[in-house]
């Protein structure tokens, strides 16, 4: 599957228990931006883990509680190399993510100590929705209608479930732990 994230064109290939993400035609500026965003690619690709994919916003009523809980989750489960939060800023709901990609990253890192990958801004509705997000929406039947929609994706790239912003990160930790345990049991 070919996906465009911000200015980066990537190919996502899902295989049993892993996926590879290949960066295509990366310019020096895009490499710098990718590294700035904390997206490290080893030997041209990175392996997928159980992921919580979230559309984030800096000026939303859910911002503080979600960023704090997402970082706590990343600190607790991300250190196992079996899980990561993948954050995608989106300005489509109430224009609550108005800054540049750099400003969004700076906000998340400085205010909340966010260490999880923070990608370039995307649309999650209407035009220009990345294919990966189209897949999440179709697979779960859950179209985001506000900021901080959360999609749980297993190691095989299968979307397991989705939750709106009114469901806290703490409320879904058991689901995340079950997805990680299922992966461990299969190895």
Q: Which residues are catalytic?
A: 60
Looking up tokens 């990609």 gives 101
Report the C-alpha gap between 20 and 11 in whole angstroms: 8
Token couple for 130:
């990345």
Sign of the CA dihedral running 73, 14, 179, 149: positive
Shortest CA distance to 40 belongs to which of 104, 153, 116? 116
Looking up tokens 């990718």 gives 34
Report whether 57 contacts 91 (CB < 8 A).
yes
């Amino acid at each position: 599957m070919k996906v465009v994230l911000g200015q980066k064109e990537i190919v996502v290939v899902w295989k049993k228990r892993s996926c590879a993400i290949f960066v295509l035609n990366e310019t020096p500026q895009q490499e710098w931006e990718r590294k700035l965003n904390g997206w490290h690619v080893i030997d041209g690709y990175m392996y997928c883990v159980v992921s919580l994919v979230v559309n984030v916003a800096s000026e939303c009523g859910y911002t503080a509680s979600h960023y704090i809980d997402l970082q706590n989750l990343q600190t607790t489960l991300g250190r196992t190399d079996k899980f990561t939060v993948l954050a995608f800023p989106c300005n489509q709901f109430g224009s609550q993510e108005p800054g540049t990609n750099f400003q969004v990253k700076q906000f998340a890192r400085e205010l909340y100590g966010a260490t999880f990958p923070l990608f370039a801004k995307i649309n999650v509705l209407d035009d220009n929705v990345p294919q990966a997000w189209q897949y999440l929406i179709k697979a779960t039947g859950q179209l985001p209608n506000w900021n901080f929609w959360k999609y749980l994706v297993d190691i095989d790239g299968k979307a397991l479930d989705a939750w709106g912003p009114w469901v806290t990160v703490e409320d879904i930790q058991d689901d995340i732990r079950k997805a990680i345990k299922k992966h461990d049991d299969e190895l």
